[in-house]
Amino acid sequence: MGAAMRRVQVGSALSSFGVGFTVPFLYVYVAEVRDLGASAAGIVLAAFAMAALVVLPFTGRAIDRRGPMPVLLVASGVAAVGALGLGLASTEAAAIAAAAVLGAGTAVLQPALATMIVWCSTPETRTRSFATQFFLQNLGLGIGGLIGGQIVDESRPESFLRLFAIEAVMFLVLAAIVWTVRMPQGAVLGEAAPKDAAKGGLRTLLGHRAMVQLCGLGFVLFFACYGQFESGLSAYGVEAAGISASTLGIALAANTAMIVVAQFAVLKFVERRKRSRVIAGVGLIWAVAWIAAGYAGLGHASQAVATTAFVSTYALFGLGEAMLSPTVAPLVADLAPAGRVGSYNSAFALVKQLALAVGPAVGGPMGAALHGPYIVTFLLFSLGITVLALRLGKRLTPLQDQPSLAGTRVVMVSKPEPAAADA
């Protein structure tokens, strides 16, 4: 790992560490500490998500035209302002505005960091680079959440201000670290950015069938997993399986622990196999996870067995996530034509954000009241992941599907199929 990549990874990990201080407590902070109520908290969370949906369509163009570094520097500053604003917000309007600013800033960070990782890596090292980022981000989130839990005091609003201030500082630390990064020779806009970046970007992407299929697959992946963690699945656990709030925390910890423990062991397995088949395997693993969740809610097992099955569900999701991190993000980069990596990363980030917005809205009510249909629905979605992944594999070149075949050769990125080909 070169010096540039190390700095990008450290900055990414520290920003996740800062986010970990506030994410677990945002709802409680708005609804109870600021005494704005549950409806206000819901609006604040929605504003956070909607701001991301607004800015992401423009992010890719900015990255491709200006480069990821200036975009990331601006986004870090915006996110820092939003975080500090939330810590100071005492009215509903102020909290909503600050959440929108924070959501916009953090949404832009993801594709900007991904593009920097692409620029600082080669096709041979990209898989490991994205796996390392995912590992460090989860480790940072987990440690930040643990420390934040020791600092926070619901009877003292100033303790929450301290959390949001730490988050703001970590965004600025990310900006400071990235500012010192010297991009490898050749990763310059004069060579990378297409002259028509402002014109045919969306049309080019929509004409690239493999990327369109990957975006569809990505939506199902995030809808059926991340979109259920803190909504449908937790509601199902409480209502159907009798899981306590403290056990939900243990389940989330099991998910993070599985990622941290399994990431690099899984990486060795993934690197020598076809990406499409790895993703297909994730669908099967998650199908087993949903079966375990279904068993936990049947009511035929003891509470201890039901609890074990439910915690195992989150652990199995973590295993699947560890397999996806070195697979999906590098594939997005390898599909992108020269000069459009930012656009492709932003498009995939937008798909992810849409799934995270729709997932809780659909899964929350089902998990709380329609227990059997909820499990069956998401079991079928998981099996659908396997089918979609195998279909995607037919669209990929051998080197896109399995970069290890190249040995020491450079994996060429694909050229999007002409839009006219769809006619």
**Helix (H), strand (E), coil (C) string for 83-117:** HHHHHHCCCHHHHHHHHHHHHHHHHHHHHHHHHHH
Question: Following DSSP, what letter does each residue of 121-178 receive, concatenated?
Answer: S-HHHHHHHHHHHHHHHHHHHHHHHHHHHHH--TT-HHHHHHHHHHHHHHHHHHHHHH
* pLDDT at position 412: 41
1-180 folds as Growth Hormone; Chain: A; (1.20.1250)
- List the Cα angle 409/413/414 in 5-degree steps: 130
201-423 folds as Growth Hormone; Chain: A; (1.20.1250)
* Nearest in space to 109 (alpha carbons), one of 79, 142, 148: 79
* pLDDT at position 270: 85
In the predicted model, what is the mean pLDDT of the chain? 83
pLDDT at 419 over 70: no
Question: What distance in Å separates the CA atoms of residue 212 and residue 208, rounded to the nearest whole number?
Answer: 6
Percent of the chain with pLDDT over 90: 30
Domain residue ranges of the chain, discontinuous segments joined by +: 1-180, 201-423
What's the sign of the alpha-carbon dihedral 39, 17, 66, 60?
negative
pLDDT at 303 over 90: no
* pLDDT at position 212: 92
Amino acid type, 111: P
Question: What distance in Å separates the CA atoms of residue 249 and residue 234, rounded to the nearest whole number?
Answer: 10
What's the sign of the alpha-carbon dihedral 260, 261, 267, 269?
negative
Question: What distance in Å separates the CA atoms of residue 210 and residue 192, rounded to the nearest whole number?
Answer: 22
How far is CA 268 from each of CA 265, 271, 329, 405, rounded to the nearest angstrom? 6, 6, 17, 15
Residue 367, SS3? helix
pLDDT digits (tens, 9 = 90+) for 61-86: 888 888 899 999 999 999 999 999 99
Helices (H), 297-412: 303-324, 328-335, 341-369, 371-393, 398-401
If one counts every other C-beta atom within 10 angstroms of the C-beta of residue 28, the result is 14
Question: Following DSSP, what letter does each residue of 214-271 receive, concatenated?
Answer: HHHHHHHHHHHTHHHHTTHHHHHHHHTS---HHHHHHHHHHHHHHHHHHHHHHHHHHH
Question: What distance in Å separates the CA atoms of residue 121 and residue 110, rounded to the nearest whole number?
Answer: 17
Record the pTM. Answer: 0.79
Q: How confident is the model at residue 192 (pLDDT cuts 50, 70, 90)?
A: very low
pLDDT digits (tens, 9 = 90+) for 236-250: 887 888 877 667 778
* pLDDT at position 411: 41
Residue bearing tokens 């629905």: 377
Residue bearing tokens 């493999």: 210
- Asked if 101 and 89 count as a contact pair (C-beta separation under 8 A), the reply is no
* pLDDT at position 418: 41
Fold: same for 1-180 and 201-423: yes
- Asked if 201 and 61 count as a contact pair (C-beta separation under 8 A), the reply is yes
Token digits of residue 221: 């992946």
* Nearest in space to 229 (alpha carbons), one of 258, 257, 244, 249: 249
Helices first, then strands: H and E counts in the chain? 19, 0
Residue bearing tokens 């990255």: 63
305 CB-near residues (< 8 Å, 6+ apart): none
Token digits of residue 106: 């953090």
Question: What distance in Å separates the CA atoms of residue 352 and residue 362, rounded to the nearest whole number?
Answer: 15
Residue 300, SS3? coil
Question: What distance in Å separates the CA atoms of residue 206 and residue 384, rounded to the nearest whole number?
Answer: 22
Range with the lowest mean pLDDT among 4-18, 148-162, 396-410? 396-410
